[in-house]
Amino acid sequence: MSFAYIGQALTPKEFASYVSTYNFGTIPPSYLVIHHTYKPDASWAPISGDQSTWWDRNEAGLSNDQIRDKRKPQLDSIMAYYRDYHGWSAGPHLFVDERWIWLFTPMDTVGIHAASGNSYTDASGLHYSVGIEVVGYFENVGWPVTIQKNLQVAVQTLKARLKNFDIVYHEGPKNTPAAHDHSISFHRDYNKDACPGAVITPEYAIPILRTPFVHYYPRLVITAPCAVFTARSPDAPLAGGPDSGQTWLSPGDEVQVGDKRDGWYWISDRPDTDPGIGFIPVSYGRPA
């Protein structure tokens, strides 16, 4: 049986770059579902003292690359379990540990991870979720700071790219995905009452997921004098001298990229801020 699977580890910076140009297709996901893996557990969130089940077992003395290469077959085995034992054709979309954001099922694909929370259809069409697995067993402890930071990058980068959900939680009847569309939800909202762990309540998770982080968007160097437009406008002039009230960029200016679509970049004027001053055509910048 085929399975929609990537199996790649990305740093937070790499994930932000990946999402900034990712093609979500004509129907993008519009809500998130938070999980915990439970099995595997991890040293930061164990089930017991049995280290043989830990995600990060037997890693003392290994380099970062060696740890990544050691964990990749472990992720592959989770995929094989979903495929061969459950007979699934897809799974969750992301696995987040203390080092990486792992790409699992492509995010333009309806995943299998939360029963009725996977997707639903109404009069307006298909709606589906991004399933995010947090590695560990969070029945007794919360997310360590390293995982919090990776989750912030994952959730906030998706929010900035998709622009169709907020980092909020809405109460709703069980197994009612429409109640959670355009927001954050949890596996227990659909089935599996113990997931994503007793500690990971909306009151705990939402403030963490909303906490700002240092953004890792790609950067561009401007190659020609260029106007910045507040809306994509193919009929507007693309180069020339500054006009009153118009923001202009000069060759050599460095800007931050938050989105790319239809031949336009949505950019910021400083590398350490959220993207937000407007659009420039892609032909007026090169990677920094």
Closest CA to 90 of 72, 76, 74, 110: 110
Tokens describing residue 3: 């399975």
Are 43 and 51 in contact, with CB atoms under 8 Å apart?
yes
Q: Is residue 1, in this structure, part of any structural domain at all? A: no
- Residue 280's SS3 state is strand
Q: Find the mean pLDDT for residues 57-86.
A: 96
Among candidate residues 210, 230, 246, the one where a domain is terminated:
210
Closest CA to 78 of 86, 273, 203: 86
Confidence of residue 233 (pLDDT cuts 50, 70, 90): low
Q: Find the mean pLDDT for residues 66-81.
A: 98
Name residue, tokens 């399933």: 131
CB neighbour list of residue 4: distance below 8 Å, 6 or more residues apart? 89, 90, 91, 105, 106, 109, 111
Say whether both 73 and 187 belong to one domain: yes
Give the Cα separation of 209 and 188 in Å (integer): 18
Query: Mind listing the pLDDT tens digit for each residue in 121-133?
Result: 999 999 999 999 9
Give the Cα separation of 273 and 269 in Å (integer): 8
Query: Mind listing the pLDDT tens digit for each residue in 39-57?
Result: 999 999 999 999 999 999 9
Say whether both 196 and 236 belong to one domain: no
Can you name the residues that pair with 267 across neighbouring β-strands? 257, 278
Residue 267's pLDDT is what? Answer: 79
Split into its structural domains, the chain has a count of 2
Q: Is residue 2, in this structure, part of any structural domain at all? A: no
Say whether both 156 and 37 belong to one domain: yes
CATH of the domain at 262: 2.30.30
Say whether both 262 and 162 belong to one domain: no
Give the Cα separation of 181 and 129 in Å (integer): 8
Say whether both 242 and 188 belong to one domain: no
User: What's the number of CA atoms in the CB half-sphere (13 Å) around residue 216?
Assistant: 19
Residue 8's pLDDT is what? Answer: 98
Confidence of residue 231 (pLDDT cuts 50, 70, 90): low
Say whether both 198 and 93 belong to one domain: yes
The model carries a pTM of: 0.78
Tokens describing residue 103: 């790409």
- Looking at per-residue confidence, does 253 or 50 come out higher? 50
Indicate the burial class of 157 (C-beta count within 10 angstroms; 0-12, 13-18, 19 or more): buried
Residue 217's pLDDT is what? Answer: 62
Say whether both 18 and 90 belong to one domain: yes
CATH of the domain at 158: 3.40.80.10
Q: Is residue 3, in this structure, part of any structural domain at all? A: no
Report the first-to-last Cα separation within the chain, whole angstroms. 42
Confidence of residue 169 (pLDDT cuts 50, 70, 90): very high
Closest CA to 189 of 175, 178, 202: 175
Residue 65's pLDDT is what? Answer: 93
In this structure, the number of other CB atoms found within 10 A of the CB of residue 283 comes to 13
Confidence of residue 253 (pLDDT cuts 50, 70, 90): confident
Say whether both 47 and 149 belong to one domain: yes
- Looking at per-residue confidence, does 152 or 255 come out higher? 152
Q: For residue 235, what are the domain limits?
A: 219-287
Give the Cα separation of 125 and 86 in Å (integer): 28
Q: What angle do CA 35, 36, 40 make, to 5 degrees?
A: 145
